[in-house]
Amino acid sequence: MTQHLHQPARATQQIAASVLEARTAKFRRDTRLNWLPPLIGLLVLALWYLLTRDQATAFGIASPIGVAQQFITTLMNGTLLRHIGVTLLEICIGLLAGVSSAFILGYGIARNRFLEQAIGPYAVGFQAVPIIAVAPVLIRIFGPGIVSNGIVCALIVFFPMLINTMVGIRNVSPDLRDLMRSLSATRWQIFTRLEVPAALPVLLGGLKISATLAVIGAVVGEAVSAQAGLGYLIYSARYVYDTSLVLVGVFTLTALALTLYELVSRLESRLLRWQRAGH
């Protein structure tokens, strides 16, 4: 009897042990190559230093030390933070406007055949319009500055989000929809309890792409008209051949894009925790 009672406990222990073992193996796998990115970074840095050690090449390419010094200077005197602030604001406007409008339109196209026929081709065709040609029109309408650049940003993030919304919503199983309807679920309940959760992995994939593209959007907007922002910083630094400041701007933009990507990734792992638990 006692033996019988102990059997489930032993089985549970065995399962727990195998799960632990699997997780440990995964952790080892994950951490085994963690040293690789920093090593590649160091190698690139060393190569860059060697190539720019000679002052004669300093005009064309800044040295890593020059870039580091410029970074510290612009950070300490507040210049860099001011430009980051402007670009971030443009990105926020762009992401908010672009992602929300793409989601609404993408959902409409995915769920409504009439909208798909009527707007679908235009929405896709619009992606081919060069933003640099549209930007002057936006400046005419909204005036030069942050709003125009935010809208340029929105236009760039719009398409990937639109496509991912359409794909995500279309992939929701019709059987599940029927099941929800048979349970007298309202449209809103189907939307919030079924469609959005089911499409979430694809939607967040779109958001990841949009977040990084938003950075490019802000820079494109600032190329046309701006008085501040990281794109403006790069263009004005290029004008005075300050290559170290150009690279400070480029690296800051890269860091900004990586940060945004990481934020969305964290949001993704939080929102999709239920999915992993299900597995």
Residue of 7, 13, 186, 227 that binds other proteins (CB under 8 A):
227
Residue whose CB is less far from other proteins, 83 or 208:
83
Token pair, residue 173, equals: 């199983």
Q: Kindly identify the residues of this chain, within the stretch 99-158, that bind other proteins according to CB under 8 A.
A: 135-136, 139-140, 143-145
239 binds other proteins (CB under 8 A): yes
What is the DSSP track for 75-101? Answer: HHTSHHHHHHHHHHHHHHHHHHHHHHH
Residue of 60, 125, 130, 278 that binds other proteins (CB under 8 A):
60
- For residue 152, count other CB atoms closer than 10 A to its CB: 29
Residue whose CB is less far from other proteins, 135 or 202:
135
Q: How many residues bind other proteins (CB under 8 A)?
A: 23
241 binds other proteins (CB under 8 A): yes
DSSP 275: H
58 binds other proteins (CB under 8 A): yes
Residue whose CB is less far from other proteins, 220 or 264:
220
Q: Which stretch binds other proteins (CB under 8 A): 69-77, 172-180, 184-192, 221-229?
A: 221-229
Q: Which stretch binds other proteins (CB under 8 A): 1-9, 173-181, 199-207, 231-239?
A: 231-239
216 binds other proteins (CB under 8 A): no
273 binds other proteins (CB under 8 A): no
Burial of 276 (0-12, 13-18, 19+ CB in 10 A): exposed
At its nearest, how many Å lie between other proteins and the CB of residue 226? 6
234 binds other proteins (CB under 8 A): no
The DSSP element (H or E) to which 131 belongs, if any, is helix 131-142
Place of tokens 């089911």: 198
Token pair, residue 86, equals: 């402007």
Taking CA atoms, 107 is separated from 162, 165, 167, in Å, by: 8, 6, 9
Taking CA atoms, 200 is separated from 89, 258, 267, 274, 275, in Å, by: 26, 21, 11, 11, 10
Nearest to 99 by CA among 205, 219, 253: 205
Q: Which stretch binds other proteins (CB under 8 A): 80-88, 103-111, 119-127, 226-234?
A: 226-234
Burial of 117 (0-12, 13-18, 19+ CB in 10 A): exposed
Residue of 8, 54, 59, 274 that binds other proteins (CB under 8 A):
59
Using DSSP's 3-state secondary structure scheme, residue 32 falls into: helix
Residue of 87, 106, 159, 242 that binds other proteins (CB under 8 A):
242
Can you give the binding site for other proteins, defined by CB under 8 A? 55, 58-60, 135-136, 139-140, 143-145, 224-227, 232, 235-236, 238-242
